[in-house]
Amino acid sequence: MASLMTFKLAVHDVPYGGAKGGIRIDPRKYSERELERATRRYTVELAKKGFIGAAIDVPGPDMGTNQQTMTWMKDTYMTLFGEKDINAEACCTGKYVSQGGIEGRVESTGLGVYYGLKELMEDKSFMDKAGLSVGMAGKTFGIQGFGNVGEWAAKFISQDKGIIEVIIEWDCAIYKKGGFKIDDVIAFKNEHKSLKNYPDVTEVTIDHPMRFMTKKVDVLIPAAVEKSVNKSNASQIQCKILAEAANGPTTVAAEDILRSKGTIILPDMILNGGGVTVSYFEWLKNLQHVNPGRLTKRWEEKM
């Protein structure tokens, strides 16, 4: 994962290296207070070993984390080093805007996936290879992982008249012929914390969510964990375009199988770089100590 991050940042010309780290727990099983204690302790341990800092290593949000998590990290680091490090606020990214974050960071990875897909799907030579007509409108999509990345990607795709027919979560998968109303799905998940009982579906599975990876769609977007597409399911996957929104979702064996079938694979290190790109701008904002746009606004004199 660290190597993939290194290559991704090089491709996007972002001046970071690559690293990965985390806490091995299921955040769904812990209270907010417990998650705060774990996050703060993790930050202290990173600091003790010299593994965090604006010029050392700058963590960003990933699976199981959010703006609150990153704000806890920033707050802990500033408690330890705020008096000595003028750039302490830049120790991590993905924070609340009021705590040094930047507008657009939450949706940036999903939006980047949408922009990448849109650019390619407007290209006739690319769509000819996929055996599809030009444009996103009317194409069917499957989303595996309806967290921050998958949710925002689905939202932007549906706004561009793409049809989201399959949504696969960790505890269930839902399918609707003709596509879901994504805003309704998002609202239901926010209220119930699951899609198990979502009412407007053609088919649902709880016991084997990954089975819906093989539903026939034009574009399949794995946006959850690595190795979701592997040799055990690659031969049954029926999409024409596999758009990697997660980090490393396709194994080498699965890629060989998909390519032999003529499936076009859009690599993660190109498609899901929106998040780290916006994190870079948040880092720059923190280092400059000036809000973006503050020095470029012009005020016209009232005549």
Kindly report, residue by residue over 250-273, the tens digit of the pLDDT.
999 999 999 999 999 999 999 999
Residue pair 35/69 in contact (Cβ under 8 Å)? The answer is: yes
Angle (CA) 261 266 272, round 5°: 150
Q: Choose one of 69, 101, 133: the last residue of a domain.
A: 101
Evaluate whether residue 144 is within a structural domain: yes
- Bridge partners of 142, per DSSP, are 166, 220
Q: Which of 116, 160, 104, 112 has the alpha carbon at shortest distance from 135? A: 160
Could you tell me if residue 48 is inside a domain?
Answer: yes
Same structural domain, 189 and 52? no
Pair 71, 181 in one domain? no
Which residue reads 């967290």 in tokens? 147
- What is the count of structural domains for the chain? 2
190 found inside a domain: yes
In a domain? residue 205: yes
- Shared domain for 97 and 114, answered yes or no, is no
Q: What is the pLDDT of residue 20?
A: 87
Does residue 254 share a domain with residue 233?
yes
Same domain? For 19 and 156 the reply is no
Are both 156 and 195 inside the same structural domain? Answer: yes
279 lies in some domain:
no
Q: Where are the beta strands (DSSP E) in the chain?
A: 140-144, 163-168, 173-175, 203-205, 219-222, 241-243, 264-266
Query: Domain with 67 in it: what CATH number?
Result: 3.40.50.10860
- Assign residue 237 a region (left: φ > 0; alpha: ψ between -120 and 50; beta: otherwise): beta
Active-site residue identified among 20, 161, 181, 227 = 20
Determine, yes or no, domain membership for 255.
Answer: yes
My answer on whether 92 and 114 are in the same domain is no
pLDDT at residue number 298? 61
Residues spanned by the domain of 237: 108-272
Domain with residue 242: its CATH number is 3.40.50.720
Co-location of 131 and 263 in the same domain: yes
- Judge contact between 254 and 231, C-beta under 8 A: yes
Q: Is 227 a catalytic residue?
A: no
Sign of torsion, CA 293 296 300 301?
positive
Same domain, 179 and 257: yes
- Kindly state whether residues 166 and 234 are assigned to the same domain: yes
Residue 42 lies in a domain: yes
Cα distance between residue 271 and residue 200, in whole Å: 31
pLDDT by 10s per residue, the chain, length 303: 889 899 999 999 999 888 889 999 999 899 999 999 999 999 999 999 999 999 999 999 988 899 999 999 999 999 999 999 999 999 999 999 999 999 999 999 999 999 999 999 999 999 999 999 999 999 999 999 999 999 999 999 999 999 999 999 999 999 999 999 999 999 999 999 999 999 989 999 999 999 999 999 999 999 998 999 999 999 999 999 999 999 999 999 999 999 999 999 999 999 999 999 999 999 999 999 887 667 665 655 555
Of the residues 49, 67, 101, the one at which a domain ends = 101
* Nearest C-alpha neighbor of 58 from the set 96, 93, 14, 22: 93
Instruction: Give the span between the Cα atoms of 241 and 246, in whole angstroms.
Output: 15
CA angle 76, 81, 82 (to 5 degrees): 85
pLDDT at 296: 64
Same domain, 85 and 62: yes
CA 122, chain centre distance (Å) = 23
The answer to pTM > 0.85 is yes
Class of residue 202 by CB neighbours under 10 A (exposed 0-12, middle 13-18, buried 19+): exposed
Q: Is residue 302 part of a domain?
A: no
Q: Are residues 45 and 93 in the same domain?
A: yes
